[in-house]
Structure 1
């Protein structure tokens, strides 16, 4: 009989804001399952354009935006006609425009509170 090999240490990279309840829920979800969370606080350090680009490429920028959020209304984005490039700049400057957290586990990406996607990240 062979011994079962212990699972490799799984880790995820999470982009979010400390004040975001969805970000805290995701962090709790992964930590309860023994997953190493590499947390990037977007309040302290903006997301890299290339990193954000991965999420935009997979989901589209509109899907990532929190259209119901206070910051979206404050900036008047519902009424502005701006290019995607200009909108990306605003998102980088104001991460609370996004449905947080953005989570990357291996090749799997998710945004917002999405326990199904998080579970898929842990399956491999």
Structure 2
């Protein structure tokens, strides 16, 4: 397994995801989205694994202005705007090769083991 956890150090669900993998002795790489954004390739691979970039949007994100702008854009502009504003991501984003989840999803992660 090659686990990557994208999230922030202040996110409770990100901490729970880290604890889940730590308790099972599964190595993972933590990427803090406040320090290093997801690359375009990572973004596209995760979006594909989730069935679309829409799954990445956190409707409860603090940046309400950018969230409203995202809603107002035409479809072909929305993906680029989300990529540019990764603070709108729902976290944690957990990636294992070509598989990915958003949020705390231990029932899916245990099928990866």
- TM-score (structure 2 length as normaliser): 0.83
* Alignment partners' CA distance in 1, 2:70 and 2:38: 23
Give the superposed CA RMSD.
1.9
| Per-residue deviation, 1:49 | 0.7
Query: Residues 111, 49 of structure 1: CA spacing in aligned structure 2 closer, same or farther, 3 A cutoff?
Result: same
Higher relative contact order (CA 8 A, sep 6+): 2
Match of 1:51 in 2: 42
- Report the count of equivalent residues: 111
* Alignment partners' CA distance in 1, 2:89 and 2:5: 13
* Alignment partners' CA distance in 2, 1:24 and 1:90: 27
| Per-residue deviation, 1:78 | 5.8
Unaligned runs of 5+ in 2: none
The reply on whether 1:32 has 2:23 as its aligned counterpart is yes
- TM-score (structure 1 length as normaliser): 0.76
The reply on whether 1:64 has 2:56 as its aligned counterpart is yes
Unaligned runs of 5+ in 1: 1-9
